[in-house]
Amino acid sequence: MNIYIVIPAHNEEDFIGKTLESLAQQTLLPKKLVVVADNCTDNTLKITQQYARRFAYIEVVQYQSSEQHLPGSKVINAFNKGFEILDEDYDLICKFDADLIFPKNYLKTLAHHFIQDERLGIAGGFCYVENNSEWILENITNKDHIRGALKTYRKQCFEDIGKLKASIGWDTVDELLAKFYNWNVQTDASLKVKHLRPTGSTYNQNAKLLQGEAMYKMRYGFVITWISAIKIAFKKKKISIISDYLKGYNLAKSNNIPFLVNEEQGAFIRHLRWKGIFKKLGI
């Protein structure tokens, strides 16, 4: 299978070399890999250009976006800049973060999953973080959800869902829309990816408000948003998350922020969410 990879990178000099080295050592190499150096002020560009000179399939794109950390929109806008220069000759498209170390069999194993299941639309492994010299599963991991750091899409699924939304919540709505279009989503627990910088380490309160906004934009409704906020607050052991998420939801509602999905898709998403809630409650 032809695999294309786009890696948005903003000031990743401490990590990007390790990420690219792990991808260069894959047992199944990507056909093309684009690194988008997004408003970098460190040595990220220099490091990626060195790899581009070593490997013909690696290309570097410079992109000037805002210096502000905007969860969701910033990274997807950068991804789109990289995707724009690619041709259509791909079977799988990957959006990877610039702070990951992949096991050598990562791409080959994913390709095998896609070959085995013709309705597999999105797949990925799990992120592990270092804790006291040991690599442990990142605590916000959901076994049924593929982290935004390491998404791989089948071409037709990618097109069906309208590609990636430049909004916080993009890495949730993509899977929900994939299921709406009858695609399967699969995680592989055997694919353990080292995540060199824990998710959310640069998030601020405004980012938490945007999480609530994302739930509004996905048409969750207030009750499901409230339940989701409680669940996340429990996982992260931060009770303030509940009020931040609900405030973000209500602000989006009062400001009539455009939805990411249409009414039919929203009804499907709510049904899916309630089904998951009832299942966990044993109802």
| Average pLDDT of the residues in 9-31 | 97
Per-residue pLDDT reduced to its tens digit, 141-164 = 678 899 999 999 999 999 999 999
Same domain (yes/no): 158, 43? yes
CA–CA distances in Å: residue 52 to residues 60, 98, 176, 238, 253: 7, 15, 35, 42, 45
3-state secondary structure 223-237: HHHHHHHHHHHHHHC
Task: Assess whether pLDDT exceeds 60 at residue 66.
Answer: yes
Is 230 inside any structural domain?
Answer: yes
Give tens-digit pLDDT for 183-201.
999 999 999 999 998 765 5
The DSSP annotation for 39-90 comes to S--SSHHHHHHHHHHH-TTEEEEEE---SS--TTHHHHHHHHHHHHT--S--
**Does residue 150 fall inside a structural domain?**
yes
Does 246 share its domain with 127?
A: no
Residues 211 and 72 in one domain: no
Per residue in 95-143, pLDDT tens?
Answer: 999 999 999 999 999 999 999 999 999 999 999 999 888 999 887 767 8
Q: Same domain, yes or no, for 124 and 212?
A: no
Q: Among 167, 195, 223, where does a domain finish?
A: 195
Q: How far apart are CA 76 and CA 112, in angstroms?
A: 27
Q: Quick one: 241 and 119 in the same domain?
A: no
Q: 194-236 pLDDT, tens per residue?
A: 999 876 555 555 677 888 999 999 999 999 999 999 988 887 7
**Which tokens sit at 143?**
């076994």
The domain boundary residue, chosen from 129, 163, 195: 195
Q: Mean per-residue pLDDT for 30-50?
A: 96
- For the chain, the first-to-last Cα distance in angstroms comes to 42
pLDDT, residue 204, reads: 55
Could you say which of 195, 214, 236 is where a domain stops?
195
- pLDDT number for residue 148: 94
Token pair for residue 262?
Answer: 């249409």
- Per-residue pLDDT, averaged over 174-182, amounts to 98
Q: DSSP string covering 78-142, please?
A: HHHHHHHT--S--SEEEEE-SSEE--TTHHHHHHHHHHH-TTEEEEEEEEEEEETTEEEE-TT--
For position 174, which CATH number holds?
Answer: 3.90.550.10
**200: in domain:** no
74, part of any domain: yes
Q: What is the pLDDT of residue 210?
A: 86
- Is 30 part of a structural domain of the chain? yes
Is residue 37 within 8 A of residue 63, CB to CB? The reply is yes
Whether residues 81 and 179 share a domain: the answer is yes
Same domain, 138 and 217: no
How confident is the model at residue 200, as a pLDDT? 56
Q: What is the pTM of this model?
A: 0.91
Residue type, 85: I
Whether residues 227 and 247 share a domain: the answer is yes
- pLDDT recorded at residue 279: 85
Per-residue CA distances from 92 to 61, 158, 184, 261 (Å): 20, 9, 14, 24
Report in angstroms the alpha-carbon separations of 129 from 15, 99, 238: 14, 11, 20
Q: Is the per-residue pLDDT at 172 higher than 70?
A: yes
Classify residue 120: in a domain, yes or no: yes
Number of compact structural domains in the chain = 2
Domain span at 111: 3-195
Please check the confidence at residue 38 and state whether its pLDDT lies above 90.
yes
The C-alpha atoms of residue 155 and residue 166 are separated, in whole angstroms, by 19
Q: Is residue 54 part of a domain?
A: yes
Identity of the residue numbered 111: A
pLDDT value at residue 71: 62
Predicted confidence at residue 73, as pLDDT, reads 82
- Are 209 and 169 found together in one domain? no
Same domain, 107 and 245: no
pLDDT at res. 64: 86
pLDDT in tens, 227-268: 999 988 887 788 988 999 999 999 999 999 999 999 999 999
Do 140 and 273 have their domain in common?
A: no
Tell me, yes or no, whether 141 lies in a domain: yes
Between strands 120-131 and 134-137, the pairing is antiparallel
* Same domain flag for 159 and 268: no
